[in-house]
Chain A
């Protein structure tokens, strides 16, 4: 790691951080200045230079340890210095130890910085522990978390005794047409208490007032600090200016604080008032609001939950038609934001914890082996009056110096890898802007290093300091009699490492198998040669259905005329793109229509040729055609699973369904059945689908799908031109090819599989090195015995067998314990698995096989060395 830099170049952050720790404060400024001014130098060499001055060289007059502290501290310093000297003296040992600890502590530090940033750090709002997230639910229908109907929200607001303030909000994209080109901005529509609850009081101008929510109030907008700087150069004169959003004028009234972020993972650009619409006052069954609230001081989440549940139950009794089965849930905002990533992060954190345990076992093993070699030195120390405690302290200091040095390297490793981790993690990781190596993470790494040093140093230290130690003095340090218990201990450590590695590898294997299955999973449509994009139409310019249809027809005509385009179609939504629309449906002539719908389905509004363009197979009947216009017979195509659910064992063609209760709703005739698609995620049971002609149910949320005969990405600018020709103010958002859609759908499983694979292989590597170390040491200790055997005519095969027989029980025990542990633990992976059981036979057979093979190699290397023992030399070495 030699980083060269030219003169005047700023030292990297890591170097500055290290120097800040190592160089005394009164010299730091000059030192850093000199480093920056100086000729090309290696940072590593400079850091090592400073390090060696601090710890190795005799203390100068300014830093004499006897000047400060008592005897204990002096002793500790001396021990530490001795530890550093021991490191320098046996470079091979030190290298292996440093790499081992750097790996162990590095992956833990990296993982912890993520866990810390995502799970542990409180949200950056005042009294964040009192902010809660409110949801509706309908457990009888299996919906544990649902958006809230406005009438219910208002009743909760009026009747509760738990909250200081409640606020409802919605989030959506709004098209801004004042800049260079139209762009879609991420906006929140919020009620008046929203910013107060989240501590987002504007730094400039005013917030959202209750009067802004009145139906006739003028449209106002607040800018996020980032958007204000990007778009208006941070000018205070922006207040009072007008912005055109979705074709309507909005007056800028405020700017949000610089360090204030919304709790969603995407960047927030604008905040506008959430104005109730007339239909909000009539439909208690329409759920679309989200809500946050601030608990009164002293009120717990549980109390608030009980309060709100009581209110919801009363509403359900009072309005059974709309509210039967509907409840409310209160969750701390932090839990709501972190959501399902908590379990995954904790599993990954536990996995790296196992890697560190293996690393520590390895270190304990190496230190034990070295302690055996050093028995004589330690015996001398004891003989000249070092007490038992003194020797233990010294050995602990040595192991701690090693592990802290390894930990420092580990932090560098983590520093580099965290950025890559955060970048590589799909956007599904919440709060990723909080992740980084901060003081808390550094303290964690230091604590972990010291704890590891003590852990792997203590066992050897205690076995070395044996009452019979003095006996070693006379034996030239070659005693093997006292080794029996230590040898047993080393064997147990290696078996333990192997068993931990088995558990990690089983976890890895399950995820890999699951990922492979996921990749083979068909989404139900074709993804090659497809290009998808969305262009939301603003209500101000597209107020009526006719305008929408004109835009859609014009766009489709231009798209289809483009060279390289085979077909193009329109839809309100496309699978795997996050947005959805679900409607309840009633079967006509199916008993008396009750309050509850008969089924609910994803409600696709699609243009002619949608199924052909998407590559969704038509199973029965017909698809949507150009003849399905607004004034023709209302028709629908349903997915196979919906047909199965609504018309089991019957012919669905010609059956009538309704979207909505009551006689006023038009009946719709089922004219076709198509294959199911995966709308949300690959590998999850999907909600059934129903398709109606776009022309019969137009909407302003418009997506286009293009099927191409050329590479779809090459069509992007032509497609932009085609839409721009129809309406130059329409932005194109979320342009992606079908392949990219699929990539996005498997990116989270791909990433966690990759992480687990890295952890599993690290574990395998460390455990194998451990096994090799024990056997290699054993061979070196048994050289004489092997020499005798060879002299007496033992064959190569029998010598080989001798060593393999020594290792085989370790491997066997490790495998047995590890498989047992894996059987017990693999359940925790269940939520991450697809198409593979937690006790998958292939994985449980392959892991021990792979491990046994690798172990065999680790055994054969020292065993082959044993067969080459020259009896004459081996026996000659015996005289001390």
Chain B
């Protein structure tokens, strides 16, 4: 079973949250809105590419739209492997935070 870095995990989760509307700019917005990070599109693309090549994400293209200047978009979806990796990473995290709740102020 593979595992994954923190930012990669965040991206997988964001893709999953967005369901069938996950592509570059929506993923970026989701990440910026829900985390305290300021990101560039380049960073997001780089990570999406890496996750795709690891087999955690799969893609399909959607037809061009006007607000995109007639360009297509690339929609992402989390694969079964990706979901499994995210699950195990989160489980690891949970195990490690056990007993630290007062320090970390997590519920």
Contacts and interface: CB of A to CB of B under 8 A. Distances in A.
B43 to A, nearest CB: 6
B72 A49 contact: no
B50 A60 contact: yes
A53 interface: yes
Interface string B16-42: 000000011100110000000000111
B69 A10 contact: yes
B66 to A, nearest CB: 8
Interface centre among A29, A45, A57 (most CB of B within 10 A): A29
A38 B25 contact: yes
Interface string B26-65: 0011000000000011110110011001100000010011
7 contacts: A30-B72, A30-B73, A31-B24, A33-B68, A34-B25, A35-B41, A53-B43
B42 A50 contact: yes
Nearest to B49: A62
Interface of B: 23-25, 28-29, 40-43, 45-46, 49-50, 53-54, 61, 64-65, 67-69, 71-74
A60 B46 contact: yes
Interface string A17-52: 000000100010111111111110100011011101
A511 B44 CA distance: 54
Given A30-B73, A39-B29, A48-B40, 17 more contacts: A10-B69, A30-B24, A30-B61, A32-B71, A33-B69, A34-B24, A34-B41, A37-B65, A37-B67, A37-B68, A49-B41, A53-B43, A53-B46, A60-B46, A60-B49, A61-B53, A62-B49
A23 B64 CA distance: 19
Contacts of B67: 7-8, 36-37
State the majority secondary structure of interface residues on A. helix
Which of B29, B53, B74 has the most chain A CB within a 10 Å cutoff? Answer: B74
A365 B65 CA distance: 53
B95 to A, nearest CB: 28
A46 B39 CA distance: 9
Contacts of B65: 37
10 A-B pairs closest in CB distance: A49-B40, A33-B71, A34-B24, A33-B68, A49-B42, A50-B42, A34-B25, A38-B25, A30-B74, A36-B69
Contacts of A32: 69, 71
Interface string A283-322: 0000000000000000000000000000000000000000
A380 to B, nearest CB: 33
Contact of B45 (A10, A27, A36): A27
B10 to A, nearest CB: 17
Interface of A: 7-8, 10, 23, 27, 29-39, 41, 45-46, 48-50, 52-53, 57, 60-62
Contacts of B43: 49, 53
A38 B41 contact: yes
B29 to A, nearest CB: 7
Contacts of B29: 38-39
A46 B50 contact: no
A33 B40 contact: no
A7 B28 CA distance: 15
Contacts of A45: 40
Given A37-B25, A38-B25, A60-B50, A46 B40 contact: yes
B28 A29 contact: no
A62 B54 CA distance: 10
Contacts of A46: 40-42
Nearest to B44: A34
Given A37-B25, A49-B41, A61 B50 contact: yes
A519 B77 CA distance: 72
A52 B53 CA distance: 21
A588 to B, nearest CB: 78
A53 B64 CA distance: 27
Contacts of A50: 40, 42
- Residue from the set B40, B49, B74 with the largest chain A CB neighbour count within 10 Å: B40
B15 to A, nearest CB: 14
Contacts of A57: 46
A38 B72 CA distance: 14
Contact of A34 (B46, B61, B73): B73
A48 B40 CA distance: 9
Contacts of A34: 23-25, 28, 41, 68, 73
Given A36-B69, A36-B71, A30 B46 contact: no
A37 B61 CA distance: 16
B60 to A, nearest CB: 12
B81 to A, nearest CB: 16
Contacts of B54: 61
A60 B53 CA distance: 10
A53 B49 CA distance: 12
B42 A30 contact: no
Contact of B49 (A27, A36, A48): A27
A23 to B, nearest CB: 8
Nearest to B38: A45
- Pick the most buried of A33, A39, A49, A50: most chain B CB atoms within 10 A of its CB: A33
Nearest to B47: A60
A58 to B, nearest CB: 11
A2 to B, nearest CB: 14
A31 B45 CA distance: 8
Contacts of A36: 67-69, 71
Nearest to A45: B40
Contacts of B72: 29-30, 33
Contacts of A29: 71-72
B7 to A, nearest CB: 12
A23 B72 CA distance: 16
A30 B23 contact: yes
Contacts of A61: 50, 53-54
A657 B98 CA distance: 116
A45 B73 CA distance: 22
Contacts of B73: 30, 33-34
Contacts of A60: 46, 49-50
Contacts of A53: 42-43, 46
A61 to B, nearest CB: 6
Contacts of A7: 67
Nearest to A7: B67
Given A30-B74, A36-B68, A37-B67, A62 B50 contact: yes
B53 A62 contact: yes
A62 B67 CA distance: 30
